[in-house]
Amino acid sequence: MDIGEKIQKGSSALGIEFGSTRIKAVLIDDEHNVIAQGNHDWENRLDNGVWTYTLDDIWTGIRDAYANLKKDVKDKYGITLENVGAIGISAMMHGYMAFDKAGEILVPFRTWRNTMTAEASKKLTELFDFAIPQRWSIAHLYQAILNGEDHVGSIDYLATLDAYVHWQLTGERVTGVGDAAGMFPIDSNTGDYDAKMVDKFDAAISDKGYGWKLKDILPQVLSAGEPAGKLTPEGAKMLDPEGDLKSGIPMCPPEGDAGTGMVATNAVRQRTGNVSAGTSIFAMVVIEHALKKAHPEIDMVTTPDGSPVAMVHCNNCTSDLNAWVGLFDEFAKLSGHEMDKNEIFGILYNNALKGDADCGGLMAFNYFSGEPITGLEEGRPLFLRKPDAKMSLANFMRTHLYSSLATLKIGMNILTREEGVSADVLMGHGGFFKTPVVGQQIMADATGMKVKVMATAGEGGAWGMAVLAEYMRSRDEKESLSDYLDKKVFAGAEGSILEPDAAGAAGFDSFLKDYARAVAVEKSATENL
C-alpha cells in the first residue's frame, strides 16, 4: 500500500501540538513515519500584566496549521485529506482556562508563563505537603479565590489548553494523566487526582459557598491508549472550515508537552529521562522511589501512562539566545551577505565550542519572564561582563548557551545531589539541539549525564502526540506504552550519545557559581528597569 492509499484508508494518525511559538501538525503512517506536516507561528502577548493567547489566536492558529498540513498532503500525494485514523491534541501544560455553563471563557487564558500565584503556591504546598508550582492550574484557581475574583463561583469547567481544544472538537471533558498531573497532584496507584488532597482542597474553600466541588470542574483523567471520544461534525468544521475532513474520527486522550516529549524520546520507563529545550526548558526522570521530601524546585508529574516523574521546569530557555542570533542575521543582511537562518545558528553554535570552558568572565540572564527556581517573579534579559573578561564571539555565544541551561542546572543539582535521582541517559529534544553536537555536548557538561539525541527528536511533541494517537488506534490491549515504544516505534532508531567532557563540566560549574552570585544583579534589574 502506498502512502496515498494509507491516508485514504485511515492507516494514519494526526498529532497537533500547541507550542509556545509554533502550532505544529504532524501526520504519520502506521509505521510512525512522518508523511506530512503543517505549521503556524504564533506568540503570546502580555495583556494587562498577564501572558495570554486569545481564543481567536488558538482557532486561527490550529486551522492554519491544519490547512498547511492539508496542502502538504495535496502537494505530495495528489489527494485531498478527508480521513485520518486517529487524532491527538497536545499543548503547553498548566495554566488556567475557566468556563461557565454556557461554555464562555470567564477570564483571559492565563498561561504557564505567568508567575502571579506565589501566595497560592506556598499555601497549597503547605496544605498538601506536596510541591505545587506557580504555573499549575490549581495554583491559578486558588490564587483567584484568595484574590476574591468574582468569576470563580461561575466556573463550570477548568481546563488546560489541550483539554479545551479536545473538548471543543469532541464534546468530551477529559485529559490525559500526564496533562492532568500539571493541573492537580496525581495518585499513581489510582491513575486519578489524589483523593485526599482533593478533600483537603474542598475543605479549605468550603466557607466560600461555591456551587461546585473540585472534581466537578476538572477534566476526567484518562491513561494513554484509552479512547477519548470522536471528532464531532462541529469539531471537524472547526478544524477544517473547507468541510473535507470527516467526523467520527477516534481521538486519544489529549496530553501536555511534557508527556509528548517523553514519548518522542522513548523516556517512559524507570531510570529513563529526557530534557526538552526550546522556549522553556524542562528535564524529567522517571523515578524508582519517592522523593525524601517536597522541593519547590521539583515538580512531581507522570508519564502518559501514569508512572511518577520528577521534573525540573524553567520558564526561560532559548528566547534570548534566538534574539541575539537575530541580530547577527540582521547584520548579515546589512552587509549584503544574506544567509539561511539555520546556517547562522550553525556557525555561531559551532564557534561557541571554541570559547573558554567558563565563558571567560561573561555572564547572561535569559529571563523574559520570572523564574521561581531563582526566586524571581519577573525577568529582564541581561548581558554583563567583568572589566577583564575575554570578550570574544565564541565566549559570547557560549555564555548564552550556558545561560539557557543555568537555571535548569540549579534544579537538577537538587534532584541528583540531594535526592540521589539519576538517569542512565537523558534523551534531548527541542530547538536547542537542532544544530548537531553543540547543544547536546553542552547539555551533557551541564547535567553530568550522557545525552542522546535521536533522528526523530527534531519532530518533537507533535510527532509524539501522533504516536500516542496511533498507539490508541492500533495497539494490542495488553501492550504497555513502554513496550509499544521499544518494539514498534524506536526499534533500530538511529541516534548519537555524547558523554560529559571533564573540562566542559568543570567550566560550567565555575560559570554557575558566578551565575548564582549574579542573580542579585538580575533581581535589581527587575526592580529598576
Map out the domains of the chain as residue ranges. 319-403+502-528
Q: Give the model's pLDDT for residue 456.
A: 55
β partners of residue 50: 47
Residue where the block lists cell 540572564: 365
DSSP secondary structure of 299-330 = EEEE-TT--EEEEEEES-SSHHHHHHHHHHHH
Quote the CA–CA distance of 511 and 505 in Å, as a whole number. 10
- Residue 353: what residue type? L
Listed residue (121, 119, 153) closest to 137, CA to CA: 121
- Looking at residue 138, what is its pLDDT? 98
The answer to whether the beta carbons of residues 366 and 316 sit under 8 Å apart is yes
Cell of 523: 533581581
Give the closest residue to 262 by CA, choosing from 252, 274, 246: 274
Give the per-residue pLDDT at 429. Answer: 82
- C-alpha cell, 341: 537562518
In whole angstroms, give the CA distance from residue 323 to residue 90.
Answer: 26
Helix (H) or strand (E) holding 286: strand 281-286
Closest by CA to 496, choosing from 527, 447, 528, 452, is 452
What does R_g of the chain's alpha carbons equal in angstroms?
22
Would you give the distance in Å from CA 250 to the centre of its chain?
24
CA distance 185 to 192: 9
**What is the model's pTM?**
0.81
Cα distances (Å, whole numbers) of residue 98 to 103, 106, 144, 201: 9, 6, 11, 18
Instruction: Give every CB contact of residue 167 below 8 A, 6+ residues apart in sequence.
Output: 157, 159, 173, 174, 219
The single-letter DSSP state of residue 85 is S
Strand partners for 245? none
In the chain the first and final C-alpha atoms are separated, in Å, by 61
In sign, the C-alpha dihedral spanning 30, 34, 40, 41 is positive
Tens place of pLDDT per residue across the chain (529 aa): 699 999 999 999 999 999 989 999 999 999 999 999 999 999 999 999 999 999 999 999 999 999 999 999 999 999 999 999 999 999 999 999 999 999 999 999 999 989 899 999 999 999 999 999 999 999 999 999 999 999 999 999 999 999 999 999 999 999 999 999 999 999 988 999 999 999 999 999 999 999 999 999 999 999 999 999 999 999 999 999 999 999 999 999 999 998 998 998 899 988 899 898 988 898 999 988 778 888 888 988 999 999 899 999 899 999 999 999 999 999 999 999 999 999 999 999 999 999 999 999 999 999 999 998 999 989 999 999 999 999 999 999 999 999 999 999 999 999 999 999 988 899 988 889 989 999 999 999 999 999 999 865 555 789 999 999 999 999 888 899 999 999 999 988 778 999 999 999 999 999 999 999 999 999 999 999 9
The neighbour count for residue 128, using CB atoms within 10 Å, is: 18
Beta strand 174-176 with 220-222 is parallel
Question: How far is residue 189's CA from residue 302's CA, in Å, rounded to a whole number?
Answer: 11
Q: What is the structure's pLDDT at 296?
A: 84
**Cα within 13 Å of Cα(187), Cβ side:** 10
Vertex 95, ends 94 and 100: CA angle to 5°? 120
User: What length is written for the chain?
Assistant: 529
Q: What is the pLDDT of residue 292?
A: 85
Q: Which of 289, 208, 257, 227 is nearest to 86 (CA)?
A: 227
Q: Which of 18, 56, 64, 20 is nearest to 40 (CA)?
A: 64
* H-run or E-run covering 338: none
* Single-letter code of the amino acid located at 194: D
Query: What kind and span of H or E run contains 116?
Result: none
Q: What is the dihedral of CA 122, 127, 133, 136, to 10 degrees?
A: -120
